[in-house]
Every structure is written in C-alpha cells, then in structure tokens.
Amino acid sequence: MAETALTPYLFFGGRCAEALEFYRSALGAEVELVMRHDESPDPHPPGLLAPGFESKIMHASIRVWGQRLMASDGCDASSRFDGFRLSLTLPTEADARLAFDALADGGTVQMPLTRTFWSPCFGMVTDRFGIGWMITTPGPSS
C-alpha cells in the first residue's frame, strides 16, 4: 500500500531560487530536487508561462528538519500566502531561537518567542517571502 502524505507546496512567484537559498541558510534545509520549466520533458501549453519564466523553477523539493516542503516559481509573478502558517516544532529552545531569528531577518515578528500554556517557547513570524511560521518547542510550560 502506498504511503499517504500531506505536503505543503509553496509558490514564490519568481523568487523560488532565492527562497530555497534562504531556507538552506536560515533553517539548514536540504535541497532534494530542483527542476526548471525549460528542463521539462513535455512542452508547456502555449501561454501558460509568463515571459521570462522559462528558466524559473517548475518544481523543487526540500527537507526542513526532516520534513518535506515542495516549492515552485509558478507560472507568473503572483504569489499570496494568506490564511495559513507553517508550524515548525523544534526539539530545544536554542533551536527554536536560532530558527526564529533567522526567519525574522527581513521578515516581521507577530509574536516574539515566549512561554505559553502549551509550550515553553512559542512565537510567530512572517519571513521575507510572506510565509507565516509558528515556531514552538514541545512540552508544557512550567
């Protein structure tokens, strides 16, 4: 029986290569695969790609702390990351602080890392690409 997976797939509207490098640097992401539109074995339907997107990333797969994220430039410069956040649970407060601070570089902090009733270390930040993150460590707050 095939494995079932629910994997976030993010569209960066032309900034995917920049985003992959940022997540590699900020979170230690491992890039598994990058395929550009002009490397596709099948031609794209006429008019699908915006001019200049031929060499942009059609599909990428990365691992962030062992968890897979997929990404693309999409077919044009539009991207909106509304109505969701990626929740990243890290094993220690030190790990959480490093990730949070790295994601906050060029981004916006909505809630600084703090103790909550569900976690000893939780915060919310939107990175420079508009991706909202919730960073947490497991365990009850004491």
| pLDDT beyond 90 at 140 | no
Residue 129's nearest CA partner among 18, 7, 48 is 18
Structural domain that includes position 126: 86-136
- The answer to whether residue 16 is domain-embedded is yes
- The answer to whether residue 3 is domain-embedded is no
| pLDDT beyond 70 at 81 | yes
- The answer to whether residue 81 is domain-embedded is no
User: What does the pLDDT read at residue 142?
Assistant: 53
Cβ atoms within 10 Å, residue 62: 21
Kindly state the average pLDDT of the residues 99-111: 98
Q: What is the CATH number of the domain that holds 97?
A: 3.30.720.110
User: What does the pLDDT read at residue 44?
Assistant: 83
- The answer to whether residue 1 is domain-embedded is no
User: What does the pLDDT read at residue 13?
Assistant: 95
Q: What is the CATH number of the domain that holds 66?
A: 3.30.720.100
Please state, rounded to an integer, the average pLDDT across all residues of the chain.
Answer: 93
Q: Of 50, 72, 94, which closes a domain?
A: 72
Total count of domains within the chain: 2
| pLDDT beyond 70 at 141 | no
- The answer to whether residue 79 is domain-embedded is no
